[in-house]
Amino acid sequence: MNIARPNKEDLDAVWELVAFLNKIEQGLNPIYQPADPEDEDDFEYLSDAPADEVLEALESKSANAGLPWIMTVLDTLLSSNNDIVDQESSVLDFSPKFKQAVKDTERLDFLMEVGLAEFSKENGEKACCSLTEYGIRGYGSNYREALDDVMKEWKEM
* Calpha distance 125→135 (Å, rounded): 21
Specify the fold of 96-156. Answer: Double Stranded RNA Binding Domain (3.30.160)
Strands (E), 6-98: none
What pLDDT shows up at residue 139? 94
Strands (E), 7-143: 118-122, 126-131, 136-140
Other residues' Cβ atoms within 10 Å of the Cβ of residue 150: 25
What pLDDT shows up at residue 37? 86
Q: Is the pLDDT of residue 9 over 80?
A: yes
CATH 3.30.160 domain residues, the chain: 96-156
Q: Is the pLDDT of residue 138 over 80?
A: yes
Q: Whole-prediction pTM value?
A: 0.69
* Calpha distance 95→86 (Å, rounded): 4
What pLDDT shows up at residue 1? 65
- pLDDT of 14-67, one tens digit each? 999 999 999 999 999 999 998 898 898 899 999 999 999 999 999 999 999 999
